[in-house]
Chain A
Amino acid sequence: MTTKISSLAAPNWAAQLRKKARWGESAIEASLFAVGILTILITLAITIVLGDQALLFFAEPEVNLQEFFLTTSWQPQIGDFGIWALVSATLTTSAIAILVALPLGLSAAIYLSEYAKPRARAVLKPILETLAGIPTVVYGYFALLFVSPIVRNLVGVEKVGVYNMLSAGLVMGIMILPLIASISEDALSAVPNSLREGAYAMGATKFEVSSQVLVPAALSGIGASVIVGISRAVGETMIVAIASGAGPKFSFNPLDAAETMTGHIARISGGDLPYGTVDYTSLFAIALMLFLVTLILNLISQWIVTKFREQYE
């Protein structure tokens, strides 16, 4: 026995340590790389299609960049292409949505993370997440048939029409509420317990701990929830298409009916739009603008979050 072991114990170290070909490992790496590249390619393809058609739009004789970015009337029939008529409605409805969703969502997050007993949490969280699963077309009719009549009764039937940005914005806020609540709740729960204990040990009440220690500590996560919420609101189509109004109008007044960028695209592209016309290519220019607005709003919220955080960290 011992002789056998000693004979085995004269190893060829160089051979044993040599690189082995691990085909499975290489295959996995290659396929993961391919999937990663694919997502980038798809994004690129979308951008190229948008950009290509948008370029055709801007090349039309009746269109110029200055008019597009600086004027406020969008009436393709008479050659008016002022994007602000659509951007204003997008900004207004999104702003209302965030004003509704941020305070409510953050409060719900604080409740779930700090106040709710495990049993209450186990019931409430799935319900909140169900809210996120409701089809937006249902939200749209909810806005038009339930919220809008209430708004009209409160404000005055003569002052506000059936279609208005306020109802659409409010319901959009309800739609993104679970998103903000869920991401913020994750951020609050991830705050180390030592911070909670430290704050309670100072004789702080639960509300003082939540609002003055945990929320600041979770600010980057809460900021992320707002960014996702804004993107969702800006891109949301069905609710605004149904409830906000069908006609571009430059207005920041929530009581007005006005069409958002997404609402306009949905309405126009639903009709029998001749390929290659100005109307057709204009949709791509609007879509590109939508990209831009989302990007700018994201950059702004990111900037706000970093600025706030610098005070603390």
Chain B
Amino acid sequence: MQPANNTQYAIETRNLSIFYGEFEAVTNVNLQIEKQKITAIIGPSGCGKSTLLRAFNRMNDFVPTSHVRGEILLQGTNLYGKEIDPVEVRRRIGMVFQKPNPFPKSIYENIAWGARINGYKGNMDELVEQSLRAAALWDEVKDKLKQSAYALSGGQQQRLCIARTIAIQPEIILMDEPASALDPIATLKIEELMQELKRNYTIIIVTHNMQQAARVSDYTAMMMLHGDTRSGTVIEYDRTDVIFTRPKDKRTEDYVTGRFG
């Protein structure tokens, strides 16, 4: 019935522009995000990376004046259509934030809560264990599931946030600089985890760390601020090895080789 289901892309944007009031923060983005791959969005500070990422699960809705022009298609359905419920969008497109933000609940409840509000009827203990295993956290917390999530280290908290996202089985996981608040060892764990996760999930990650983008991602979108309008846009989008070894745009080359930004 829905030919759109056959689309080869997990999600795509068409002529997407994002506004805060009058101000056009992101201009005319066309991206096709591949299924079960990791796509990195890189670019200098303030170029609209996070704004673009947050458009995918309609988190920008919480900024009162924000609105978009163009479309974001999830399997052919425009997420900004009039009949679309943002709550349902977020249930299918999960998000991991820059700073770990576990709920003020036990480790167990942090996982169970999202599943429960989304109507999960199965065995909760099993789901909690599966999700924690999938987030490579089970062995570290299995004996203290009833303890507060705040007792965990920053890296563990971030993996807990990934676990709670996995527990509601989204189609896509958005990650907004998920390792920027973590030490190198915790960062490495998150990056290893991402490689595991992409077997089942499509991941879009915003990062200001170019080495990280080069290490973990399959595709990279390079964003840049337009000098006159102060509006960001994607200037180049390609396989990550292409972006980092033979970019077509001179600005991309300058950025990835560290000449500015």
B partners with A? yes
CB distance from A215 to the nearest CB of B (A): 10
The 7 A-B pairs at the shortest CB distance, nearest first, are namely A203-B91, A202-B114, A201-B95, A198-B101, A194-B101, A312-B104, A203-B90
Contact partners of A194 in chain B: CB under 8 A: 97, 99, 101
Q: What's the Cα separation between A63 and B64 when bound, in Å?
A: 67
- Cβ of B242 under 8 Å from chain A: no
Residue from B57, B87, B102 within 8 A of A204 (CB atoms):
B87
Q: Which of B15-23, B161-169, B232-240 contacts A (4 or more CB under 8 A)?
A: B161-169
- Cβ of A305 under 8 Å from chain B: no
Q: Which of A166-174, A178-186, A205-213, A262-270 contacts B (4 or more CB under 8 A)?
A: A205-213
Interface flags for A199-236 (1: CB within 8 Å of B; 0: not) read: 11111110010001100110000000000000000000
Contact partners of A29 in chain B: CB under 8 A: none
Q: Are B62 and A197 in contact (CB under 8 A)?
A: yes
Residue from A197, A202, A216, A312 within 8 A of B164 (CB atoms):
A202
A residues whose Cβ falls under 8 Å from a Cβ of B: 118, 192, 194-205, 208, 212-213, 216-217, 311-313
CB distance from A280 to the nearest CB of B (A): 52
Are A212 and B113 also in contact (CB < 8 A) when A203-B118, A203-B168 are? Answer: yes
Q: What's the Cα separation between A196 and B57 when bound, in Å?
A: 15
Are A313 and B148 also in contact (CB < 8 A) when A197-B97, A200-B59 are? Answer: yes
A-B contact pairs, 18 of them (CB 8 A): A194-B99, A195-B101, A198-B102, A198-B103, A200-B59, A200-B90, A201-B97, A202-B90, A202-B91, A202-B117, A203-B87, A205-B87, A205-B117, A216-B104, A216-B105, A217-B103, A313-B104, A313-B148
Q: Are B88 and A213 in contact (CB under 8 A)?
A: no
Q: What's the Cα separation between A312 and B97 when bound, in Å?
A: 21
- Cβ of B106 under 8 Å from chain A: yes
- Cβ of B244 under 8 Å from chain A: no
Q: Which one of A194, A217, A312 has the greatest number of beta carbons of chain B within 10 Å?
A: A312
Contact partners of A312 in chain B: CB under 8 A: 104-106, 148
Contact partners of B95 in chain A: CB under 8 A: 197, 201
CB distance from A199 to the nearest CB of B (A): 7
Which residue of chain B has the shortest Cβ distance to A312 in the bound complex? B104
Q: What's the Cα separation between A213 and B92 when bound, in Å?
A: 20
Q: Which one of A194, A198, A199, A216 has the greatest number of beta carbons of chain B within 10 Å?
A: A198
Q: What's the Cα separation between A203 and B104 when bound, in Å?
A: 18
Contact partners of B113 in chain A: CB under 8 A: 202, 212-213
B residues whose Cβ falls under 8 Å from a Cβ of A: 57, 59, 62, 64, 87-88, 90-92, 94-95, 97, 99, 101-106, 113-114, 117-118, 148, 150, 161, 164-165, 168
Q: Which one of B57, B90, B101, B150 has the greatest number of beta carbons of chain A within 10 Å?
A: B101
Contact partners of B118 in chain A: CB under 8 A: 202-203
Are A202 and B101 also in contact (CB < 8 A) when A311-B106, A312-B106 are? Answer: no
Q: Are B114 and A203 in contact (CB under 8 A)?
A: yes
Contact partners of A216 in chain B: CB under 8 A: 103-105
Contact partners of A208 in chain B: CB under 8 A: 117
Q: What's the Cα separation between A205 and B91 when bound, in Å?
A: 10
Contact partners of A311 in chain B: CB under 8 A: 105-106
Q: Are A201 and B150 in contact (CB under 8 A)?
A: no
CB distance from A223 to the nearest CB of B (A): 14
Q: What's the Cα separation between A311 and B113 when bound, in Å?
A: 15
Which residue of chain B has the shortest Cβ distance to A216 in the bound complex? B104
Q: What's the Cα separation between A312 and B105 when bound, in Å?
A: 4
Q: What's the Cα separation between A204 and B91 when bound, in Å?
A: 8
Contact partners of B168 in chain A: CB under 8 A: 202-203
Other contacts beyond A196-B62, A203-B168, A311-B106: 20, CB < 8 A: A118-B64, A194-B97, A194-B99, A194-B101, A197-B62, A198-B101, A198-B161, A200-B59, A200-B62, A201-B95, A202-B91, A202-B94, A202-B117, A203-B87, A203-B88, A203-B90, A203-B92, A204-B87, A212-B113, A213-B103
Residue from B62, B88, B103, B165 within 8 A of A195 (CB atoms):
B103
Q: What's the Cα separation between A307 and B138 when bound, in Å?
A: 28
CB distance from A5 to the nearest CB of B (A): 40
Contact partners of B103 in chain A: CB under 8 A: 195, 198-199, 213, 216-217
Q: Which one of A199, A201, A205, A313 has the greatest number of beta carbons of chain B within 10 Å?
A: A201
Q: What's the Cα separation between A198 and B62 when bound, in Å?
A: 12
Q: What's the Cα separation between A217 and B153 when bound, in Å?
A: 19
Which residue of chain A has the shortest Cβ distance to B151 in the bound complex? A313
Contact partners of B165 in chain A: CB under 8 A: 201-202
Q: Are A201 and B90 in contact (CB under 8 A)?
A: yes
CB distance from A208 to the nearest CB of B (A): 5
Q: Which one of B104, B113, B114, B164 has the greatest number of beta carbons of chain A within 10 Å?
A: B104
